[in-house]
Amino acid sequence: MRELIKNLLIQIGENPNREGLLKTPERVEKSYEFLCSGYKQKPEDILKKAIFNTDNNEMVLVKDIDFYSLCEHHLLPFFGKVHIAYIPNGKVVGLSKLPRLVEVFARRLQIQEQLCEQISQALFDTLKPKGVAVTIEAQHMCMQMRGIQKVNSKTITSSLKGIFLSDERTRKEFYSLIKD
């Protein structure tokens, strides 16, 4: 990867041997190892570490989970907040596992729509709740720094499963709870 970065610097008109760029290939390599570390993790392994029996059948919601990811089309960042809710079906998962689940998928090359669906599906498949709702609000540097250059734009996606699809009251409760 270091050689690729060195060549990239040359291709954009830079001198990879100048003082400020000497260690750039190494730094970029380490950066991408971290930013793409989600490929080395399995979401079900994270969730299964903290599943507990419960009699609770009311909505569990963790909102405003910060995330950063890389757009698979431009390798530019997109970032924002994820809101995750589920209705238990005899099992709950440790609350910290939901942000960890977000990180597994966010630390892969992504599109927001896919990220939203992957989080929702992994929770639905592993925990087997009555329903799952995931909403993501994000800003995309590929839209803000280049292309259309709309600095204040946000993209909102959602993925609903189970009772969140079939019961309007439950769906409305979720959306009212995640409003600022």
By annotation, the residues acting in catalysis are: 71-74, 112, 140, 142
CA 71 to chain centre: 11
Full 3-state SS string of the chain: CHHHHHHHHHHCCCCCCCHHHCCHHHHHHHHHHHHCHHHHCCHHHHHHCCEEECCCCCCEEEEEEEEEEEECCCCCEEEEEEEEEEECCCEEECCCHHHHHHHHHHCCEECHHHHHHHHHHHHHHHHCCCEEEEEEEEEEHHHHCCCCCCCCCCEEEEEEEEHHHHCHHHHHHHHHHHCC
